[in-house]
Chain A
């Protein structure tokens, strides 16, 4: 069974569109994260959710919004997509107050 899954794996869209990436974890973890990996492979935290509450909100544009319908899911909504949003987005999860984070397979977003 896949521990952390993301859909879709690839997403190609035009500038100005709105898109969502879904993430699900079956590890029973209480905290989930979104990371962005740029073209130079640099990984940077975007958001994390703990028990459905946002506990980190890094300096990302407000066009990005995380939505957590329950503690097993953390979706990422992106409005008015820009060329610079092209990257690989990774979802991760960990136990509350734990440190071991497990990553999903990533979603490669390409904005044209």
Chain B
């Protein structure tokens, strides 16, 4: 069963705009929440990650917001650029499952010039 639900499936944003991707989970044992970026023909690349003891983490133009009580987390891409056009995956893992990543279904982001 899908342990991490991701939305939207696709997103179109104008250059300079904010891209927002949301994820939700049910398993309260999850304690690590990364976001991966994948370009066509490439492997997923770790973008940013958060643990549930903080509500927000920012790295450059990328910010994760985390709501433990709602079991939701989101990725915000500020000042979106055409080079950000890729597929983004949220994921979650826990020690109970050997740290295997449970991925969302991905969001295809297109940033238009």
Report the Cα distance A81→B99, complex, angstroms: 28
Q: From the candidates A42, A43, A104, A105, name the one contacting B101 in the complex (CB within 8 A).
A: A43
- Whether B105 sits at the interface, judged by CB under 8 Å, is yes
Interface string of B15-39 (1 = CB under 8 A from A): 0000000000000000010101010
Which A residue's beta carbon lies closest to that of B38? A41
Q: Range of interface residues on chain B? A: 20 to 34
A-B interface pairs (CB < 8 A), number: 61
Task: Answer whether A99 and B98 are a contact pair too, CB < 8 Å, given A40-B105, A41-B87.
Answer: no
Residues of chain B lying within 8 A (CB to CB) of residue A4? 43
Chain B residues, CB < 8 A from A99: 32, 34, 49, 93, 99
Residues in A with CB closer than 8 Å to B43 are 4, 90, 103-106
Give B contacts to A, CB under 8 Å.
Answer: 32, 34, 36, 38, 41-46, 49, 87, 89, 93, 95, 97-103, 105-106
**Cβ B98 vs Cβ A103 within 8 A:** no
Output the residue of B32, B36, B46, B100 with the most chain A CB within 10 A. Answer: B100
Would you give the 0/1 interface string for A50-69, flagging 1 where the beta carbon is closer than 8 Å to chain B? Answer: 10000110100000000000
Q: What residues of chain B lie closer than 8 Å to A31, measured between beta carbons?
A: 98-99
Contacts A42-B106, A90-B44 hold; do A56 and B101 have CB atoms under 8 A apart?
Answer: no
